Each structure stands twice: as structure tokens, then as C-alpha cells.
């Protein structure tokens, strides 16, 4: 019986040592895995930092280029607006001058036609008087 107890004790001791060895191995593997994960995390963080830095540098470069382009566009657009204003002023002055000349020409033409019409009316009235006098001399009297 002692031998059985001894065998059972040895078996229990072996199982206990095996379990402790297994726990130690698992703990060691856990530490190795955590160490690798830490290294991988650090590597990923470094890569992300590099990407962020690269993106920020590209952003600042693009922002600078856009700022320069917008400044140039503002200057050119401002010059365009000034040129358009100047052209509008020139067109307004030309139109005013042309309308003024046209008005004078139109008024002069209307005055001339009015004078011609009055002359024609006077000639017609003179002919009518002549005809009335001629008809009165012939004994003809118009009715009315």
C-alpha cells in the first residue's frame, strides 16, 4: 500500500510540476508575445508618425501653393475688374457723345423737314388763293 501511495504521490507531484512548468512556459510565451506586440505597436506608431508628418508637409506645401495661386488670381482678377471698369467708362463716354451728335443731327433734320413742310403748305395756300381768285374772276364760286 505504501508503494501505491508513493506512486500516487509521485504522480501528483509530477502532475503538479508539469502544471507549474506549463504555467512557466505559458508565462514566458505570454511575455514574448507581449514584447513582440509592444515592438509591433512601436513600429506601427513610428510608421503612422512618419505618414502623419509626410501628410502634414504635403498639406503645408499645397496650402502654400494654393495661397500663392489665390494671391495671383486676386491680383489678376483685380486688374481685370479695373480694365472692365475703364472699358465701361470709355463706352459710356462714346455713347454719350454719339447720342449727343445723333440728337443734334435728328433735331436739325426735323427742323429742316418742318421748314420744308411749312414752305410747301405756304405754296399750297398761295395756289389755293390763286385758284380762288381765278375762279372768282370767271364767275365760279366754290361752295362752302
**Number of C-beta neighbours around residue 132 at 10 A:** 13
Per-position pLDDT tens, the chain of length 144: 888 888 988 989 899 998 888 888 888 888 888 899 999 999 988 998 988 898 889 989 988 888 888 788 777 777 787 888 899 999 988 888 887 777 777 788 888 888 999 999 999 998 888 888 887 776 555 554
d(CA 95, CA 102): 10
Q: What b/e readout covers 29-61, taking b as 16+ CB neighbours within 10 angstroms?
A: eeeeeeeeeeeeeeeeeeeeeeeeeeeeeeeee
> Can you say how many angstroms the Cα of residue 73 is from the centroid of all Cα atoms in its chain?
12
Amino acid at each position: 500500500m505504501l508503494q501505491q501511495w508513493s506512486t500516487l504521490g509521485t504522480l501528483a507531484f509530477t502532475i503538479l510540476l508539469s502544471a507549474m512548468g506549463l504555467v512557466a512556459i505559458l508565462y514566458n510565451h505570454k511575455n514574448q508575445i507581449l514584447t513582440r506586440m509592444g515592438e509591433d505597436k512601436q513600429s506601427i506608431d513610428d510608421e503612422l508618425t512618419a505618414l502623419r508628418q509626410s501628410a502634414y508637409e504635403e498639406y503645408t506645401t499645397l496650402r502654400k501653393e494654393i495661397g500663392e495661386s489665390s494671391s495671383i488670381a486676386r491680383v489678376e482678377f483685380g486688374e481685370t475688374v479695373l480694365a472692365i471698369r475703364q472699358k465701361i467708362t470709355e463706352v459710356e463716354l462714346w455713347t454719350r457723345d454719339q447720342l449727343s451728335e445723333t440728337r443734334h443731327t435728328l433735331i436739325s433734320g426735323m427742323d429742316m423737314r418742318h421748314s420744308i413742310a411749312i414752305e410747301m403748305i405756304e405754296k399750297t395756300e398761295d395756289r389755293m388763293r390763286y385758284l380762288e381768285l381765278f375762279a372768282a374772276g370767271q364767275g365760279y364760286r366754290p361752295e362752302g
